[in-house]
Structures are given as C-alpha cells and as structure tokens.
Structure 1
Amino acid sequence: MRRALLLICFIAWHIPCLRAQYSFHVLEDTARTLTAQQALDMYKNGGFSRLESAYLNPGFTTSVFWIAVPVQDTAAAKDLVLLADNAHINHLEWYALKDSLRLLSVTGDFHPFRQRPLVHNTFAFPLDEGAQLYLLKADKHHESIQAPLIVRSRSQLQEQQAGEALVNGILTGIVLLIVLFGTFLFTTTGDKVYGWYALYVCSVLLWIWANKGLGFHYLWPDSYFFASRSRPVFVLANLVLSLQFLKGFTGIGKSHWMYTPFAVFQAIWLIMLGATLWPVDYTRFAQASFYLQKSLPLFSLLVIGFITAGLIAQAVKGNRPAIIYLAGTSVFITCIMLENLYHLGKIKLPEFFAHFGMFTGVVLEMIIITFGLAARFNAYRKEKEAMLLAMNTQQKALTDTIVTVEENERKALADRLHDEIGSMLSLASLQLSAVQENPLGSETKLQHAGNLLKDISTTVRNISHQLTPVAIEKYGLLHAIEDMVQLANASGKIHIELVLVGFSGGNEYPRNFQHTLYRIVQELLQNILRHAGASHALIQLIEHEDACSIIVEDNGKGMENGATAPGFLRSIHSKVSYLEGILQIESEPNQGTMVNIDLPLPRKN
C-alpha cells in the first residue's frame, strides 16, 4: 500500500524541486582550454550568462560548458544535492569555493560508476556547508549534451530514487514478460516472427536501460568502452531487429516493393553498428564520430517517415498486421521523433516525460503488438486443427479405399476360384467318375484328369503368389519381380524390359514395405496387360540413398488425361499414399503412358 501511494504521488507531482531558490549561470568554452580558476575569474568578471530555464541543452556541440551555482544560504546547503539529470555526460568536474576553489569530485561516462559522489543513475553532487559558489564542468564535446539542472534535498532525492526504482521495476517486468511470451511462441510454433519479436523487445529494453543509466549502474559499471557506446549500439540493434520483425509480421517478402528499401536501411544501420563497436578510442576520431552521431537521428527520422508511409499504404489495403503494428508503434514513433529532436537540441521535454515517457510508450506499443501476435498464434492453432482434421479425413478416405480394394481383390479371387478351379475340379471329377463307371479307355480319361490336376496346381500356385509373394521370403524382392516379369513375357504377347538397381541386400527392409512395393509393380504390370494394348514396356526399380523410384513406361493406347488417374489405378494411388510417396502419370492418347513413383525408404531391419 505504501509503495502504491508513493507511485501515485511520484507520477502526479514528480517530487517538487528547489529550482526557484537557485540560479544557474553558464559559460561556453569553445576552445576547451579553460581551467577551473580561469572559469572562476570569468564568472567574477561577468563572463557567464544566466541560464534562464535551468536546462543546459545546446544539442550537438564541440564545446565544453562551465556552470556556476551561487549559494545565498550557505548554512542550509549542507542537506542539498545538485542533479545534472542526464546519465550520459562523458566528463564532469565538481568544484566548491570557500576560502579557495577546490575540486570535490570527478565523474562521468569516461570513469567507473563507483567514482560518482552519490549512487544515482544520473549525476548527483552534494553541496557543502559554507561554500559560496559551485562550478560544474560538463564535457561532452563532439556529441549531443543535455543536462536539466535540479537542486533537491537529500530526502527528496531518496523519494525520487524510490519512486523511479518502483516505476522502472514495474515497466521492466512487463517488458520481460512480453519477451518470455515471444520466446514461448517461437519455441512452440517454430515461427521466426516470434523469435525476432522477442529479440526486438529485448533490444528495446536494453536501450531504455542504457538511456536511463540503469545499464551503467547494474550491468557494465566498470566499462569505459561500452558505457559511452551503449545507447547507439542498442538503438541501432533495435532498428535492425524492428525491420526484421516487421517484414515477417506484415508479410513483406522478397517480391514486395518495401523489401529492398528495408534491406538497404538494415545494411546502413549494421555498418553504423560495426563502426560504433570498432575497438578504438573514438575520441581520436572526434569529428568523424560527431558526424556519425549527428547523422543517425536524421537518417532514423527519414526512415521512420518512410516506414510510416508504407504501413499506412498497407493498412489502407486491409493488411491487418500492418494496422496492428501501426497502431502499436504510433505512440512509440512519436516518442522516437521527440527523442531525436531532443538530442538535436531542437525541443525541451517535461521532466516526467524525459524520465518515463519513452518507457511507457514502449510498453504500450509492446502490449498492442503482443495482442496482434496472440491473434496470429490463435489463427495458427486453428490452422493446425483444420490441417489435422483434413489429414484425418484424408486418412479415412485412404483407409476406405484400401478396404474397398481389398474387398474387390477378395471378390476377384473368389470368382477365380469358383470359375477356374471349380470348373476344372468338376471336369476332373467327371473324368474319374467315368473311369469308375466304364473302365474301358480309362488310361486316356486318367491322363485327362491328371492334366486337369496339374493345371489346378499351377493355377493355385499363381493365385497363392498373388496373395502372398512367397518368392520374396525365399529369394528376395528382386527375384520375385524377375519371376513375375518372366511369366508375363512367356505369353509372347508383349516384351517387357526390366531394370533393377539396388535392393541387393536381401530382406533388409520391413516385410510390409517389400510386399507393398511388389504389389505396386504387379498392379502396374497387370494394368499394362489388361488395358494398355502395348507391345513393349519398360519397368525400372531403382534404390537411392533414402528413397526408391518405380518408373513404368509402355507404348500402348494411353489415356485421355494423364494427370487424372482412371479407376483401375486407384488401388496404386492408395498404396503410394500409404507409403507416403508421390505418384505422377504422363499419358496422351495413342502415345503410351509413363508412371513415375517416388517412395521414401523405411529404416532397414
């Protein structure tokens, strides 16, 4: 309850300050050569000008600035603190004038965090009792400098720190939950959009932490190298990742007109990122660094304008993700524009907005986009459910086809047993009965009966091979197919050429796969014999590393539409689907037919 009241008071009034009781005077040292004593002398001689708004904001500059803070009530100053409320000033020197001018502290981004006189995310300088004047040297030449100057009591500073810590903790927790949400969706669906979103949000959070001084305070407190580069590094990473996420979220593919400009922008930002992280002291290249930092916000403003125009065009066309992204980023884009203008020294921002406006805008943007991603995930889930339903329907249809084919095969077998075997057994029975009734001429009748029994035996063996190819079990798949083709060639009505490659390892594949493979070749051959009217055919069975191919060609009468299989190929379709293969048929009337089947190979026994 106490924290909630503290938060409400902090947001509503933002800790009243003591600016009215203190005046600030500034001197710009364009040559960057003044000493503290020389600056003091110039102040006494009227060389400083009054800083009316208590806000040092020259923007990008090549100068060093001296700020004078005269004290009227020296006894009351012992409980006061001067805030230079910017976490990114390279070098600061804090002097006090009592009997003489003396240096109290040296701090800044170019010094370890522990060197700050008071632990604070920005720069807090305690006032001493008895000093009539304070001098603050602020050096950030060849960069952008802003420093709101605020005098507060120590108790007010503690309340401010507690309030800021609470707000920062709440907003950071919200953003981290969004990062975890995006990571969860990425690991669940494998959709890269969610992964890019998690990285994008994470880069935004790190940029805000760097911008507010939290990163230097907690993450890299001893890094001179990274403390002064963290903000441009994370803002560049944020820009690159935001475009990467935007392309996936709104469906901007390689054929889209915005894809190439996006790629160019990303390349430019990556070059800038590489230059920022180049392991050299950038102060040696102050002028080049100055132009790089000055061009970044200008270029970013132009790109933001282009992206906004592109998103509006997509939204007008009814692109729902573009509408969601545009709605979510409208606040953030406004904040970025204000931030860029702030760094350019063109505008001044209210104190509260400078502290939490960007953070709040980011959180609002992330919440809106997260709702859009949740809707995308819901659509993905429904799509998967529809796909599973379609697969179940397809599997049921495949099962029905297999059952129908099996029933037809059983019926054909029953008809053959009844018509062929039954009739031949009846003739053999008649012959034997005739022998019993009239022994005369029994040798001829017995010979006829023996021949019928041989035919019955041959027919039963052929039917048995059709039901279960025993040759596969005894001699292997290749021998069984060779035997089948040899029997077809023995009729003399057609010449079949057989090409077998691979499958030399015997029964190394599962029995069910070999039998189904045999049945496919058998049915293709039967279709040629019964329907094609061909005089020549070619059958190829080729084993590859992880698949096998069946290619059957004939010079028969062909079909009207090779793309649509006739009814007598339905059984082959079902078997190929059962083995998760691909069936292609090419045929033209009087031009023959070619059937190409690709089947994945199962694991070997």
Structure 2
Amino acid sequence: MRRALLLICFMAWHIPCLRAQYNLSVLEDTARTLTAQQALDIYKNGGFSKLESAYLNPGFTNSVFWIALPVRDTAAAKDLVLLADNAHINHLEWYALKDSLRLLAVTGDFHPFRQRPLVHNTFAFPLNDGAQLYLLKADKHHESLQAPLIIRSRAQLQAQQTSEALVNGILTGIVLLIILFGTFLFITTRDKVYGWYALYVCSMLLWIWANKGLGFHYLWPDSYFFPSRARPVFVLLNLVLSLQFLKGFTGIRKGHWMYAPFIVFQAIWLIMLGMTLWPVDYTRFVQTNFYLQRSLPLFSLLVIGFITTGLIMQAVKGNRPSIIYLAGISVLIGFATLETLYHLGKIQLPEFFAHFGMFTGVVLEMIIITFGLAARFNTYRKEKEAALLAMNAQQKALTDTIVTVEENERKALADRLHDEIGSMLSLASLQLSAAQENPLGSETKLQHAGDLLKDVSHTIRNISHQLTPVAIEKYGLLHAIEDMAQLANASGKIHIELVLVGFSGEKEYPRNFQHTIYRIIQELLQNILRHAGASHALIQLIEHEDACSIIVEDNGKGMENGAAAPGFLRSIHSKVSYLDGILQIESEPNQGTMVNIDLPLPGKN
C-alpha cells in the first residue's frame, strides 16, 4: 500500500527542485585543453555564461563543458545533490573549492559504475563538502550531449529512486511477460513470427534498460567497452528484428514490393552494428563515430517513413496486422516524440512522463501488438481445429472405403467358393456316388472325380495366393509380380510386359508396404483382364531414392476422363491414400488407360 501510494504521488506530482535558489553557469571549452584551475580562473574573471534553464543541451558537439555551481549557504547545501539527469555522459569530473580546488570524483560511462559518488542510474553529486563553489566537467565530445541539471534534497532523491525502481520493475515485468508469451506461442505453434516477436521485444527492453542507465547499473557495471555502445547496439538490433517480425506479421513475402527494401535496410543496419561492435577503442575513431551517430537517426527516420507509408497502404487494403502494427507504433512514436522534445529542452513534462514516457510507449505498443498476435493465434487454433475435423472426415471416408472394399472382397471370395469350389465338389461327389452305385465304369467315374479334386486344389491355391501372396514371403516382391504376370500371359488372351527396377533390398521395407504394392498391381491387372479388353499391357515398378512409381498402361477400350471412378479405382485409391501416395489416371475411349502412382518409401521420406 505504501509503495502504491508513493507511485501515485510520483506520477501525479512533479517533485519540486531547488534550482531557482542556485545560479548555474557554463563555459564551453572548444579546444578541450582547459584544466580545472584554468576553468576556475576564467570563472573568477566572469568568463562563464549563465545557464538560463539549468539545462545543458548543445546537441552534437566537439567541446567539453564546465558547469559552475556557487553555494551561499554551505550548511544548508550539505543535504543537497546536483543531478546530471543523463545516464550517458562519457566523462565527468566533480571539483569543490573550499580552501583550495580539490577533485572529489571522476565518473561517467567510460568508468566503472562503482566510481559514482552516489548510487544512481544517472549522475548524482553531493554538495556536502562545505565548499562555496563546485565545478563539474562534462565531456562527451563527438557525440550528442543533453543533461538536465537539477538540485534536489537527499530525501527527494531517495523518493525519486524508490518510485523509479517501482515503476521500472512494473514495466519490466509486463515486458517480460510479453516475451514469455511470444516464446510460448513460438514453442506451441513453431511459427517463426512469434519467435521474432519475442526477440524484438527483448531487444527493445534491453534498449530501454541501456537508455535509462539500468543496464550499466545491473548488467555491465564494470565494462569500459560496452556502456557507450549499448544504446546504438540495441537500437540497431531492434531495427533489424522489428523488420524481421514485421515481414512475418503482415505477410510480406518474396515478390512483395516492400520485401527487397526491407532486406537492404536490414543489411545496412547490420553493417552499422558490426562497425559499432568492432573491438577497438572508438575514441581513436571519434570522427568516424561522430558521422555514424549522426547518420543513424537520419537514415532510421527515412526508413520509418517508408515503412509507415507501406503499412498505411497495406492497411487501406484491409490488412489487419498492418492496422494493428500501425496502432502500436503510433503510440510508441507519440511517447518517443514527447520524451525527445523534453530532453531537447523544448517542452516540460510531468515527472513520470519525463522519465518513463518512452518505456510507457514501448509497453503500450507491445500490449497492442500482443493482442494482435493473440488474435492470430486464435485464428491459427480455429484453422487447426478445422483441419483436424477435415482430416477426421477424410479418415472416416477412407475407413468406410476400406471397409466397403473388404466386404466386396469377402463377397467375391464367397461367390467364388460357392460357384467354383462348391460346384466342382458337388460334381466330384456325384461321380463318387455313381461309382459306388454302379461298379461298371467306376474307373472312369473315379478318374473324373480325381480330376475335379485336382481342379479344386488348383483353384484353392489361386485363391490362397490372392488372399495372401505367399510368393512374397518365399521369393520376394519382384518374383511374386513376375508370377502374377506369367499366369496372365499363360491364358494367351493378353501379353503383359514387365519393367521392374530396384527393390534389391526390399526386405528392409515393411511387409504391409510390399503387400499393398502387390495388391495395387493385382487389382489393376485384374481390371485389365476383366474389363479393358486389352491385348497388351505394360506394368512398371521403379524404386527411386525416396519414393517408388507404379505405372500400368493398356491398349484397351479406356474410359471417359472425369467420369465417376469405377469401384476398383476407389479400392486402389484407398490403398494409395493409406500409403500417403498420389494417384493419377489418364484415359480416353478406345485409347487405353494409363495409371500413374507415386508412393513414398517407408523410412526414406
């Protein structure tokens, strides 16, 4: 309750500063050669200029600045602190003039965090030395320098730190939840857009932490190399990841007019990122760094203008993700503009928005886009459910077909047993009965009965082979197909030509796979023999690297393309579907038929 009340007070009430009681003055050292004593002498001679707004804002500069803070009541000043409210000043020196000029502290983001006079995300300098004059040297040459100079009591500073820690914690927690949400969706759906979103939000959070000095405070407090590079690194990384996410979120693919420019922009930013992270002391290349830092905002603004124009065009066409992204980015740009104008000294903002405007804009943008991603995930879930329903319906239809085919096969088997086996056994029984009743001519009758029983045995053997191709088990798939073709050729009604390629290691394939291939070829051949009226047929079974092809051609009477599939084709289609294959049929009346089947090989695809 106490922290919540403190947060509300911090958001609604601008903590009063004491700058009106103190006159700050500034001296610009363009040559960057002045010592502290020389700066003090110039101050005593009236060479400093009054800092009207207590806001040091030269922008991009090549100079060093000296700020003078005279103190009238040294006793009252012992409880005060001078706050340079910018976490990214490279080098600061803090001097006090009492009996003599003394150096009290050296700090900045070129120095370890522990060198700061007071633990604070920006730079706080206590006025507790009893001095009548304090000098602050601020050095950020060849970069942009903005530093609001605020005098506060220690109690006010403590209240500000407590409130800022609470707000930073709340906003960081929200962003971390969004990152976890994006990561969860990526793991669940394997959709890359959620993964890019999680990385994009993470880079944005790191940039916010770097911008507010939290990164230097908690993540890289002893680094000399990274603090001054942290903000441009995370800005560039964020720009690259934002475009990567945007391409997936709004559906910008190859061939889209925005795709190629996006690739170019990302390449330029990655080059800038490599230059920024180049492992050398960039102070040796200050002029190059100066141009790099000045070109980055200009180039990024041009790109943002291009992207915004493209998104507006997409939104006008009804692209829902573009509308959502525009809404989110508009909120962020609004808050970013306000905070930038504040840091440039152009406007005054309430304390909360002055310190957390950008962070708040980021959180609101992420919340808006997260709602869009949640809607996308909901659509994905519905599509998946619809696909599962369709798959279930297809599976049911396939099962019904298989059951129907099995029933038809049982009926055909029953009819054949009844018509062929039953009739032959009846005739054999009659011959045997006649031989018993009339011994005369019994030898002839017994011979006829024996011939009938041999036919029964032969027929039963054929039926058995049709039910379970024993030849596959004994001699292999290729030999079984050859036997099948030889039996057909023995009838003298048709000539079957075989082309068998591969399957030398067919034993490695499952038995069910080989049996199904045999059944498919068997059914196609039986259809040719029974219905096609063909004199010639070609059967090809070819094993490829990861699939096999079955091609069966005949010169029979054919059938109309687009006509309803005969029952035998529905049976074959069910078997092909069972093996995840593809069935194609080409046929015309009196022009024969060609059936082309492609089946993936088990374990190869």
1:541-580 → structure 2 map (5 Å cutoff):
541-561=541-561, 565-580=565-580
Contact 2:339 / 2:353 at 8 angstroms: preserved in 1? no
Establish whether residue 9 from structure 1 lines up as the match of residue 19 from structure 2. no
- Tell me what 1:432 maps to: 432
> Sequence identity of aligned pairs in percent?
89
SS at match of 1:75: helix
- Tell me what 1:301 maps to: 301
Contact 1:562 / 1:585 at 8 angstroms: preserved in 2? no
1:427-576 → structure 2 map (5 Å cutoff):
427-505=427-505, 507-561=507-561, 565-576=565-576
Q: What one-letter code is carried by the residue in structure 1 that aligns with 2:369?
A: I
**1:149 offset after TM fit, Å?**
0.3
- Tell me what 1:194 maps to: 194
1:37-48 → structure 2 map (5 Å cutoff):
37-48=37-48
SS at match of 2:110: coil
CA distance in 2, matches of 1:59, 1:505: 77
CA distance in 1, matches of 2:225, 2:588: 74
- Tell me what 1:397 maps to: 397
TM-score, normalization by structure 1: 0.95
Q: What one-letter code is carried by the residue in structure 2 that aligns with 1:417?
A: L
- Tell me what 1:229 maps to: 229
SS at match of 2:78: helix
SS at match of 2:74: coil
Contact 2:79 / 2:154 at 8 angstroms: preserved in 1? yes
Q: What one-letter code is carried by the residue in structure 2 that aligns with 1:453?
A: L
CA distance in 1, matches of 2:213, 2:506: 72
SS at match of 1:229: helix
1:259-274 → structure 2 map (5 Å cutoff):
259-274=259-274
Q: What one-letter code is carried by the residue in structure 2 that aligns with 1:244?
A: Q
SS at match of 1:225: coil
Contact 2:193 / 2:249 at 8 angstroms: preserved in 1? yes
- The change in CA–CA distance for 1:163 and 1:339 in structure 2 (over 3 A counts) is closer
- Tell me what 2:275 maps to: 275
Moved more, 214-223 or 441-450: 441-450
- The change in CA–CA distance for 1:129 and 1:286 in structure 2 (over 3 A counts) is closer
What is the CA deviation profile of residues 289-342 of structure 1, one whole-angstrom value per residue up to 9, with x for unaligned ones? 111101111111121122122212111211111111111221112234456667
**1:182 offset after TM fit, Å?**
0.6
- The change in CA–CA distance for 1:130 and 1:472 in structure 2 (over 3 A counts) is closer
Moved more, 127-136 or 501-510: 501-510
Q: What one-letter code is carried by the residue in structure 2 that aligns with 1:425?
A: L
- The change in CA–CA distance for 1:539 and 1:336 in structure 2 (over 3 A counts) is farther
SS at match of 1:228: helix
- The change in CA–CA distance for 1:244 and 1:304 in structure 2 (over 3 A counts) is same
Q: What one-letter code is carried by the residue in structure 2 that aligns with 1:104?
A: L
Establish whether residue 334 from structure 1 lines up as the match of residue 334 from structure 2. yes
What is the CA deviation profile of residues 321-368 of structure 1, one whole-angstrom value per residue up to 9, with x for unaligned ones? 11111112211122344566677x584553533310000111111111
1:348-367 → structure 2 map (5 Å cutoff):
348=347, 350=349, 351-367=351-367
Q: What one-letter code is carried by the residue in structure 2 that aligns with 1:141?
A: H
**1:564 offset after TM fit, Å?**
7.4
CA distance in 1, matches of 2:236, 2:587: 59
- The change in CA–CA distance for 1:292 and 1:130 in structure 2 (over 3 A counts) is same
CA distance in 2, matches of 1:349, 1:561: 79
**1:509 offset after TM fit, Å?**
3.5
Establish whether residue 69 from structure 1 lines up as the match of residue 69 from structure 2. yes
What is the CA deviation profile of residues 461-519 of structure 1, one whole-angstrom value per residue up to 9, with x for unaligned ones? 11121112222233332222221111011112222222333434465443333322211
- Tell me what 2:19 maps to: 19
Contact 2:338 / 2:357 at 8 angstroms: preserved in 1? no
1:93-492 → structure 2 map (5 Å cutoff):
93-338=93-338, 345=344, 347-348=346-347, 350=349, 351-492=351-492
Contact 1:562 / 1:588 at 8 angstroms: preserved in 2? no
**1:405 offset after TM fit, Å?**
0.7
Q: What one-letter code is carried by the residue in structure 1 that aligns with 2:253?
A: G
**1:389 offset after TM fit, Å?**
1.2
SS at match of 1:520: helix
- The change in CA–CA distance for 1:246 and 1:261 in structure 2 (over 3 A counts) is same
- The change in CA–CA distance for 1:319 and 1:189 in structure 2 (over 3 A counts) is same
**1:245 offset after TM fit, Å?**
0.6
CA distance in 1, matches of 2:408, 2:328: 62
What is the CA deviation profile of residues 30-69 of structure 1, one whole-angstrom value per residue up to 9, with x for unaligned ones? 2212222222222222222111111111111111111111
Q: Which runs of 5+ in 2 are unaligned?
A: none
CA distance in 2, matches of 1:601, 1:295: 57
- The change in CA–CA distance for 1:269 and 1:354 in structure 2 (over 3 A counts) is farther
CA distance in 2, matches of 1:178, 1:301: 26
CA distance in 1, matches of 2:189, 2:153: 53
CA distance in 2, matches of 1:247, 1:562: 42
Moved more, 123-132 or 557-566: 557-566
CA distance in 1, matches of 2:227, 2:507: 68
SS at match of 1:114: helix
CA distance in 2, matches of 1:535, 1:354: 92
Moved more, 421-430 or 196-205: 421-430
CA distance in 2, matches of 1:346, 1:441: 130
Q: What one-letter code is carried by the residue in structure 1 that aligns with 2:105?
A: S
- The change in CA–CA distance for 1:155 and 1:340 in structure 2 (over 3 A counts) is closer
Q: What one-letter code is carried by the residue in structure 1 that aligns with 2:209?
A: W
Contact 1:62 / 1:143 at 8 angstroms: preserved in 2? yes
- The change in CA–CA distance for 1:319 and 1:265 in structure 2 (over 3 A counts) is same
TM-score, normalization by structure 2: 0.95
Contact 1:558 / 1:589 at 8 angstroms: preserved in 2? yes
Contact 1:563 / 1:586 at 8 angstroms: preserved in 2? no
Contact 2:336 / 2:361 at 8 angstroms: preserved in 1? no
- The change in CA–CA distance for 1:564 and 1:136 in structure 2 (over 3 A counts) is farther
Moved more, 168-177 or 277-286: 277-286
Contact 2:93 / 2:136 at 8 angstroms: preserved in 1? yes
**1:575 offset after TM fit, Å?**
0.8
- Tell me what 1:33 maps to: 33
Contact 1:142 / 1:289 at 8 angstroms: preserved in 2? yes
CA distance in 2, matches of 1:510, 1:266: 50
SS at match of 2:528: helix
Moved more, 476-485 or 3-12: 476-485
- The change in CA–CA distance for 1:349 and 1:290 in structure 2 (over 3 A counts) is farther
- The change in CA–CA distance for 1:501 and 1:342 in structure 2 (over 3 A counts) is farther
- Tell me what 2:581 maps to: 581
**1:530 offset after TM fit, Å?**
2.2
- The change in CA–CA distance for 1:506 and 1:222 in structure 2 (over 3 A counts) is closer
Moved more, 559-568 or 183-192: 559-568
CA distance in 2, matches of 1:97, 1:581: 90
**1:603 offset after TM fit, Å?**
5.6
CA distance in 2, matches of 1:349, 1:19: 15
RMSD: 2.1
Contact 1:301 / 1:340 at 8 angstroms: preserved in 2? no
> Number of paired residues?
603
